[in-house]
Structure 1
Amino acid sequence: MPALSQGDNRARQVSFKYRPLFRLTNRHDNDECCTVPYTRINIRVPYIMSEPSDEQAAMQHYLVCGTEECQKNGEFYCNNCHRVLCEQCRDEHLKSPKTKSHEIVLYQHRKQQLPVEKCELHPTRTIDMFCRECNIPLCSKCSTMKEHHTHTFDDLEDIYSEKYAAWQGEFSKIQKHFLPTSLGLKTDTEEDASQIKKIMESIRTSMEAEAESLKNLVDEVTSENIKHTHTMEKSLLEMLKSQETTYEDYMTYLENMSDEFQKYLSITNQKLLFSKTLKIQSIPETTKPVPPVFTAGRFNKNDIIKLLGRVNVPNKEPEKRKIQPMKAVTTYMKSTEKQLKQSKEKSDVKQTLSLSSSVTKVREYSVPGVYSAHHVSVDKSDRLWVTDYRGNLVQTDLQGKQLQKIQTSGGTEGYHTATQDGDLMYIDKDKKVIYRITPDQKITEFIKTGDWTPLSIHSSRINGDILVGMYKDKEAKVTRYSKAGKKIQNIQRDNQGQELYSEPLYIIENINGDICTSDFNKYAVVVVNKSGQHRFFYKSQGSGFRPWGICTDVLGHILVCDTIRETVDLLDQDGRFLSVILSPQQGIKEPRGVCVDEENNLYVGQYDTNTVTVYKYLQ
């Protein structure tokens, strides 16, 4: 934001509190910190906060040099005098013995002038310094007080200018990128909603037409079947009628034979009885008809669904809306620029990554000094840290060479974690202490957990917080510590007061801040949000589930080892099962520890072997 001269009529009065920048405190004789009431400061700032449009620029006058009687265009700015200078005045300014050491920069690179504020303890002095140790602004006389002896001081104007530039940069981002980009995305969603309505109406029309077609086919088949029964009935009845005629003819024959026999029996002459032999024909044989049997169709609702079809959402990753990359914004906050760049790079990687159609084995490491790979961590130098059930903690390089080995009291838990700073933290259950190992192999005591026995630990990739799973008697909880080791949160029960955890063996934080815990005795993965509110339990797809190692990736997937099925399952961040990443069919046996490195490689440790296998499952 430009700092203009008093005569500039384009400035307006803006009132704001000084609270967002600093906590104003002073030390008294009792050495207790007392907060000074924050004062309201009026400063003159340009009316136009963001860069003007072409039309606005055409209506504005150029910057005038601040030197008396000089009306030339001011292109430069003296950060010491806080004055606009033209090129000629700049040269004279640098030649003058009094001002030759002043810092003169292009106007757009100027420092912001610090608002004037009087010291509460020394009303005649202006607050213009900042104490690093006390983290407070003060005046030059305050800096000579005994409580600030040996302290280091910064120019408050430099700090103010840096923060001002950073805030202006953020404001510019909102105006130039975030607002117009969000407006475009909102328009896209409205167009998508209209398109969805058209698609769904078309689907309903197709479904009705499909159902009508099936009804017509059912009527046609039923009609043909009924016609066929009439034909079958006619044929069977004709056969039976023929048999009826056969028996009627035979009965007529029998009546004739009966008369014949009766005639001969009435003759008195015996010789006639012996003169002729009468023989009765056999009864004609016929067959009984085989009645037709109706075989009912075997179908259910699912069969009808298959015939008619159903509406499904395709099983694929939704296409992310394209967000135009933000143009670089000049700022004095170099660390902020670096953080923004890293965040953008991660975002770009995330937008291009998706699940691969197959899992590819990349390489294997044999880790000397461990009996099995129960837990695996990869530090910033891509070096492996592996622990086994005997408490051996071993670090190796990428060639499998042992770099250091530490004996701990740990067992089958996830009791170590690599930090953002390149350190490693590990748990000593017996001493109930968390230790820190620096890259130069210096080991220091970091956190004491008191009466609670720590089991698992994870260093957040979001803010560096430390998450620790622990138990005491029949209770268990997850505690959050700051990077400095200060306890800031306990997570133990849900909203109904029910215990969330039983034995939190492994713990990880997802990209959305969810805390995911592999709880062996709960037979579940327990997930809570960053505020500690319970979100869901995951208890596998089959019968029996014993979760072990757990990790997350850049897409928010949750990967967990199942010791019953000997698989590595892949879930989305809401606990929905997606697929089995690794199984015995792929050569994996009893997976125990998993982690994902910065290159999105999946490291898997297995029981009863010191081999760590690396897989690629994202593309």
Structure 2
Amino acid sequence: MYKQYCYSCKLPVCAKCKNHRQHAILNIKTEYKTNREQHRDILHKIRSEALYSNRFLLADIKTDFKTCQTEIFNHQLKISTKAEGLKNRIDTVMCDVKVRMRYKSFMINHGLQQRKRILASIEKYEYRYEQSANRAVKLLFFIKNIFVPKIKEALHITQNALLSLTDEIRKDDVIEILSKIQITEKGKRQARNECPLELLSTPELLKTFRLKTFGCVTNMSCLNSDQSWISVKQNYFTLLSLTNTEVETLHHMTCKTDYSTIVLYGTHTVNNEGELIYINTDNDIYKLSPENSTKSTLIIETYAWEPLCVYSSPVNGNLLVGMFNYDKKTSKVNRYDNTVQHIQTIEHDNKDQQLYKIPRYITENRNGDVIVSDLNQVVVINHRGIHRFSYTGRVSGDRLDPCGICTDALSHILVCDYITRTIQMIDKDGHFLSHILTREQGIERPLSLSYDKKTHLLWVGSWNNNTVCVYRYINIIGRETGTCN
């Protein structure tokens, strides 16, 4: 059995092999795990995106092929009709040209004969009256009133025949006929943006695993189908670790420390590049590279304002930060662009009233709405910072204690309610839809949420039992419900 791996030759080798002694020798299990992690994202993308999208693309291509056959036949019929009409028109014009050319030839011959007769008459008049001075006046009168009009009439007939030939067929008419046959350039075929998704009648529990660190699972940020950054709070400090569904800790650190054991926050997020963005123990915001090797500072805590929660927008890469001022007892949400330049502050509503009490968790919906899990309410504002609504429960008078919050591909808002110990689903306009997860689905005290937009799986963290559950409540139409890979 091979227990070693030659890095230079890219081959497994045994311990007694002498050909690779001068090469870099690695442990084969370690190298296998490293290569598996490197190719995990590629395999997941192929399985969840490429293979799935190709099925729908193939169906669309078959439909388009049938449609194109019909359209091509219709275009061929139209072209044949137009060509036949154009041919008939050209034949008619050519026939008219021949007739008019014959008429022109006839008129020319007729004009020549007439000219000959006129000349003969002139010669006759000239011969008869050239000897008489008095008769010369009659000669000029004859030339003016008889000869000249006859010549003009002959020329006018010839000119009209030529003009009628050019008026019969015009370039604009031909262009108008041919321009009705249009060819539209087609772009590269892509899968539709609208995913064919539907809600399951009952959410399906795919996997449950217990973390090695005991405490409250306060926040989760999915990295891929089976890896997530998970923060677990123990008394006054929070341990942040990159964990897979096999409960293997791939990386860990200590993040934001809070001296309250009750109030919990969404202290980290993952951006489109797979980088972890988190609030450190010094209340500065840091970014960790996908290889977990390089750490850089994004935002240094501003005076008197302490960051409580962060979220990276998958749409434009903006960073949303919920902040609290302990001196003034006020809260706000700041928006930063890709270069970490401050571009927006969301603090008051249209009546200049404070929007937030203490922003715990923050997320963004597909329509650009910024959604904050606040004390006793869920506050929703649009991308311009205008307050849309505040959700305080399914009916008027209900109490709500929102914790973890997220949105899905159908623009639903999911929020953990600590009072009812359920996960409530509301639509993008704040209307209650259902209790999507309750104790009947195996949830005791849901505390944190993370929605994987690639697999449409919902990760749920619990209070005081270091348990994470993975559910499927959205199904892709045309694909049977699968299992957590």
C-alpha deviations, 1:99-147, integer Å up to 9, x for none? xxxxxxxxxxxxxxxxxxxxxxxxxxxxxxxxxxxxxxxxxxxxxxxxx
1:586 to 426, 441, 455: 441
Gaps of 5+ in 2: 1-74, 84-181, 259-263, 476-485
Give the counterpart of 1:437 among 269, 272, 288. Answer: 288
Query: Within 5 A, what are the aligned runs for 1:1-40?
Result: none
1:335-368 deviations in whole A, cap 9, x for unaligned? xx9xxx4xx4441x2xx21211111111113222
| Residue of structure 2 aligned with 1:362, choices 195, 206, 209 | 206
Residue 406, structure 1, aligned to residue 253, structure 2: yes
Q: For 2:424, what is the secondary structure of its paired residue? A: strand
Q: 1:536 aligns with which of 375, 380, 389?
A: 389
For the residue of structure 2 that corresponds to 1:484, the secondary structure is coil
Aligned to 2:318: 465
Partners in 1 of 2:193 and 2:230 — Cα distance? 27
Q: TM-score, normalised by structure 2?
A: 0.56
* 1:372-406 CA distance string (max 9 Å, x none): 21111101464111112231101112311001110
* CA-to-aligned-CA distance 1:538-563 (integer Å, 9 cap, x gap): 01126321000000000000000000
How far the C-alpha of 1:176 sits from its partner, in A, is: 9.3
Contact between 1:369 and 1:394, CA under 8 Å: does it hold in 2? Answer: no
CA distance 1:380–1:421, change in 2 (3 Å): farther
- SS of match in other structure, 2:440: helix
2:334 maps to 479
Amino acid of the structure 2 residue aligned with 1:614: V
**Is this contact kept in 2: 1:426–1:436, CA < 8 A?**
yes
Distance 2:186 2:374 in 1: 45
Distance 1:176 1:354, change over 3 A: farther
Q: Are 1:392 and 2:245 matched, yes or no?
A: no
TM superposition shift of 1:586: 2.6
Structure 1 unaligned regions, length at least 5:
1-52, 60-174, 178-326, 331-336
Is this contact kept in 2: 1:417–1:426, CA < 8 A?
A: yes
Q: Check conservation: 2:265, 2:308, Cα contact below 8 A.
A: yes
SS of residue in 1 equivalent to 2:360:
strand
Distance across 2 between alignment mates of 1:394 and 1:405: 4
* Structure 2 residue 282 is matched with structure 1 residue 424: no
Counterpart Cα distance in 2 of 1:504 and 1:581: 24
Picking from 356, 372, 382, the partner of 1:501 is: 356
Contact 1:367 1:386 in 2 (8 A): no
Alignment of 1:125-144 (within 5 A): none
Measure the CA separation in 2 of the matches of 1:388 and 1:396.
12
Asked if structure 2 preserves the Cα contact closer than 8 Å seen for 1:385 and 1:394, the reply is yes
User: Residues 213 and 232 of structure 2 are in contact (CA less than 8 Å); yes or no, is this contact kept in structure 1?
Assistant: no
The within-5 A match list for 1:181-260 is none
For residues 51-101 of structure 1, the C-alpha deviation after alignment (integer angstroms, 9 at most, x for no partner) is xx9999x99xxxxxxxxxxxxxxxxxxxxxxxxxxxxxxxxxxxxxxxxxx
Contact 1:369-1:405 within 8 A present in 2 as well: no
TM-score by length of 1: 0.44
- Give 1:584 deviation, angstroms: 2.1
- In the alignment, which residue of structure 1 is the partner of 2:428? 573
Report the number of matched residues: 286
Q: Deviations over 1:159-192 (max 9, x none)?
A: xxxxxxxxxxxxxxxx999xxxxxxxxxxxxxxx
Question: Shift of the alpha carbon at 1:496?
Answer: 0.9
SS in 2 for 1:363: strand
Check whether the contact 1:370–1:392 (CA below 8 A) recurs between aligned residues: no
Kept in 1: contact 2:225–2:455 (CA 8 A):
no
> In structure 1, what is the Cα distance between the partners aligned to 2:403 and 2:317?
24
Kindly provide the amino acid, as one letter, of the partner of residue 207 in structure 2: R
Cα gap change, 1:575 to 1:381, in 2 (>3 Å):
same
| Deviations 1:496-518, CA, capped at 9 Å, x for gaps | 10000110000000000000000
What's the CA shift string for 1:232-254, capped at 9, x where partnerless? xxxxxxxxxxxxxxxxxxxxxxx
- Bigger RCO (CA 8 Å, 6+ sep): 2
Contact 1:549 1:560 in 2 (8 A): yes
